[in-house]
Amino acid sequence: MARLFAEPRLVVASHNEGKVREIADLLVPFALDIVSAAALGLPEPEETGDTFVANAVLKAEAAVQGASLPALADDSGLAVEGLGGDPGLYSARWAGPERGFNAAMALVQEKLGDNPNRRAYFISVLSLAWPDGHVESFEGRIYGTMVWPPRGDKGFGYDPMFLPDGYDVTFGEMDYDEKQRISHRAVAFQKLIDGCFRQP
């Protein structure tokens, strides 16, 4: 059984404003004092893990160490079947350290070329760490298809190219509240809530 979270304050261990907003919005019902790692001036740790879980734990533990507060971290990415699971762990920096997601989306399309297998999934791992060293981790996925050209200007990252199963709009076209309801992060978040924020 997961540990219940009973602290008044929580650090969201991210410098990604879109990710911080999504996580903070999902935590509204719990009336927590939410602060981002960026707002606290905490450095971004180097993601040296070889799995999404390892990187999420690394980021959560780094924020705990820097702030002496419980921290919630997300490591997420896009896995495209036709690319052997790439960009995967390297989703945020796949096109290069100084290049943005427009370049990364173009690189996905370039590498896919005429490959008919455009199946993909977004994955999110949420790790909640306490100052005493205890950590709980939860994974969520959403499956879909990669489209080209990108569609929509909502969301962030690869959202304009990802068409979730059962929908005719990409994450980049989808209403924010709808994306919040079905996303990989929402799936992981529901597992986190069920495990750590609700009484059994």
Contact 120, 80 (CB under 8 A): yes
Distance (Å) of CA 78 to CA 30, 61, 124, 142: 29, 23, 9, 10
Largest CA distance in the chain: 52
60, 129 Cβ separation under 8 angstroms: yes
Give me the catalytic one of 25, 50, 74, 75: 75
Catalytic: 86? Answer: no
Which of 33-45 are b and which e, b meaning 16 or more Cβ less than 10 Å from the residue's Cβ?
A: ebbbbbeeebeeb
Q: Are 193 and 136 in contact (CB under 8 A)?
A: no
Neighbouring CB atoms inside 10 A of 183's CB total 25
Cβ 192 vs Cβ 126: under 8 Å: yes
Q: Which of 95, 108, 94, 92 is nearest to 149 (CA)?
A: 108
Active site residues: 75
